[in-house]
Amino acid sequence: MDLTGKCVLVGVTGGIAAYKTCTLVSSLRKQGAEVCVAMTKNATEFVSPLTFETLSANKVTVETFDPKREWEVEHIALAKKADVCVIAPCTADFAAKLANGIADDFLSTTVMACTCPVLLAPAMNTNMLNSAAYRANESVLRERGVRFAETGSGRLACGDTGNGRMAEPEDIEGQVIDLLFPNKDYVGKTVLITAGGTIEPIDPVRFIGNRSSGKMGAALAKAATDRGAKVILVCGNVTVNIPEGRYERIDVTTTRDMYDAVMANYERADVIVKAAAPCDFRPVAVAENKIKSDKPLSVKFEKTEDIAEAVGLVKGDRKLVVFAAETTNLERNAAEKLAKKHADIVVANDVTQEGAGFGTDTNIATIVSESGAESLPKMSKSQLADIILDRAIGK
Ligand SMILES: Cc1cc2nc3c(=O)[nH]c(=O)nc-3n(C[C@H](O)[C@H](O)[C@H](O)COP(=O)(O)O)c2cc1C
């Protein structure tokens, strides 16, 4: 799972199961999440902060009144930053504090300030777990929307056998991921996405290309996968990092290659998003040898394949989303493109505007469909990706 861009706050409290949290932290970090560990003072008796610092590649906070603190009000900053907060292990003591609004150390204060989902992974002796006090605290917390990673049964560290073992790190991680990506409306769907620019050779060393970075296509691929889709990514020349193994990736060079890849695979897709910038022209002839640079050069170009139009003609019930980089008459040109390409959605952007178009992390788009034009404010490409995926399934 690609957790890049997500921040997980891992709270560790004073139980023997704290050693298992090392595996959780390490795994979340390996998947790209930013992991911020905060520990109670008692937790540091079980595992050293240095261990979590090394595994998370991040500072570990224990003290509220740390003279070396990085931010002015650190517990609030961390609470605001976290996308999910998980307490593993969660002691009976810590559950009691949360249930009663006691904020007397860094971790309890931070968790109280969290507005993100909170997941507790309790671990304790069976009699503590069954005690009226713990049961009452757990039920108060559940009523408030706090989630629980259920304890398991077995031999406990204290020598007793029974319920109270902390859930396994992979189960806790699964719940963390579910909380990070609650929207699964693309489960069972396949999305074919084209990304990046194509390049057309002039001679063995020179080519014509464009400035497409592949960022919009990569954001769409990530968003669709996060929502449960299988993604076929037809990838031209990209400068953005594409995580390995997450998508069925088909690398292409020229517009003809991209056309072939799309036409060979579109039938498997429910939604086709053409976020690539294929070259519209290619040299009529490619020189066999490197063209000498001693004379001026003139190259004759011909039109390349129109991939969107070709898909539009055969797509059937599949949804087709195309992009339109415009410099004038945005809405009119987009509406014309919608009709000409038999597309369902045109995402038009005025590439002359600051914060829109190639290479940027943001976009300013107008979504044009049969139901009209929707002008969106400047937003990140990942936010725009989610809106495009919403509209493609009628949301
Ligand atoms: C060896 C040892 C293991 C412990 N394991 C647990 C445990 O699994 N669950 C629990 O609720 N308390 C456990 N405790 C008791 C807690 O450490 C104690 O209640 C402490 O005050 C919790 O502090 P904290 O909630 O601030 O981390 C254990 C204590 C010791 C000495």
Q: Which atom of ligand 1 is nearest to the CA of 164?
A: 8
Look at ligand 1, atom 28, and give the residue with the nearest C-alpha. 15
The protein residue whose alpha carbon is closest to atom 9 in ligand 1 is 124
Tell me what pLDDT residue 358 has.
Answer: 67
200: CA distance to ligand 1 center in Å?
65
How far apart CA 234 and CA 395 sit, in angstroms, is 25
253-285: per-residue pLDDT in tens? Answer: 999 999 999 999 999 999 999 999 999 999 999
Quote the distance between the C-alpha of residue 51 and its chain's center: 27
Confidence grade of residue 327 (pLDDT, cut at 50, 70, 90):
confident
pLDDT at 156: 81
Phi, psi of 58 (to 5 degrees): -145, 160
Residue whose Cα lies nearest atom 20 of ligand 1: it is 14
pLDDT at 391 over 70: yes
pLDDT digits (tens, 9 = 90+) for 94-122: 999 999 999 999 999 999 999 999 999 99
Residue 133: which of 96, 165, 90, 94 has the closest Cα?
Answer: 96
Over the stretch 118-150, which tens digit does the pLDDT of each residue have?
Answer: 999 999 999 999 999 999 999 999 999 999 999
Paired residues of 195 in beta bridges: 235
Residue 45 falls in which region: left (phi positive, over 0), alpha (psi -120 to 50) or beta: alpha
According to CATH, the topology of domain 190-392 is: Rossmann fold (3.40.50)
Instruction: Name, of 74-83, 156-165, 228-237, the range with top average pLDDT.
Output: 228-237
Q: H helices of 57-131, where?
A: 74-81, 92-100, 106-113, 126-130
- The reported pLDDT for the residue numbered 39 is 97
pLDDT tens for residues 174-204? 999 999 998 899 999 999 999 999 999 999 9
Taking residues 49-58, what's their average pLDDT? 97
Neighbouring CB atoms inside 10 A of 69's CB total 16
Fold entry, domain 7-180: Rossmann fold (3.40.50)
**161 Cα: distance to centroid of ligand 1 (angstroms):** 17
CA 104 to ligand 1 centroid distance, Å: 17
For residue 388, give both structure tokens: 């495009």
Q: What is the pLDDT of residue 350?
A: 81
Mean of the pLDDT values across residues 293-308? 96
Sign, CA dihedral 43-110-380-177, equals positive
β partners of residue 148: 120
Q: Whose CA is nearest to atom 30 of ligand 1?
A: 15
How much distance in Å is there from the Cα of 133 to the middle of ligand 1? 16
In a 3-state reduction of DSSP, which class is residue 324?
strand
Q: Tell me, yes or no, if the two domains 7-180 and 190-392 fold the same way.
A: yes
Would you state the pLDDT for residue 195?
A: 97
Describe the strand order of the beta sheet including 271-274 as a list of residue ranges: 248-251, 230-235, 190-195, 271-274, 319-326, 345-350, 365-369, 372-375
- Tell whether the model's pLDDT for residue 67 goes beyond 70: no
Query: Quick one: pLDDT band at residue 70, thresholds 50, 70, 90?
Result: low
What does the block give as tokens for 21?
């949290």
Indicate which residues carry an active-site annotation: 158
What's the gap in Å between 15 CA and the centre of ligand 1?
A: 4
Instruction: Assign 357 a pLDDT band (cuts: 50, 70, 90).
Output: low
Q: Does the pLDDT of residue 73 top 80, yes or no?
A: no
Across 228-306, where does the E strand assignment appear?
230-235, 248-251, 271-274, 281-283, 301-303
Q: What is the mean pLDDT of the chain?
A: 93
Domain ranges of the chain: 7-180, 190-392
CA–CA separation, 309 vs 340, rounded Å? 7
**Substitution site in 62, 93, 98, 107 for ligand 1 pocket (most atoms within 8 Å of beta carbon):** 93
Residue 68 has a pLDDT of 65
pLDDT, mean of residues 226-236: 95
Count CB neighbours of 62 within 10 A. 18
* pLDDT band, very low/low/confident/very high, at 72 (cuts 50, 70, 90): low
- Is the Cβ–Cβ distance between 276 and 197 less than 8 Å? yes
High-pLDDT (> 90) share of the chain, %: 83
Long-range residue pairs from 21-26, CB within 8 A, at least 24 positions apart, any chain: 21/47, 21/52, 21/88, 21/89, 21/169, 22/47, 22/51, 22/52, 22/55, 23/169, 24/86, 24/88, 24/169, 24/172, 24/173, 25/52, 25/55, 25/56, 26/55
Over residues 350-373, the mean pLDDT reads: 83
Residue 325 has pLDDT above 90, yes or no: no
Per-residue pLDDT band for 246 (boundaries 50, 70, 90) equals confident
Contact at 8 Å (CB) between 18 and 12?
yes
Q: Which residues line ligand 1 (CB under 6 A)?
A: 13-17, 40, 42-43, 89, 91-94, 123-124, 128
Task: Decide if 177 contacts 1 (C-beta within 8 A).
Answer: yes
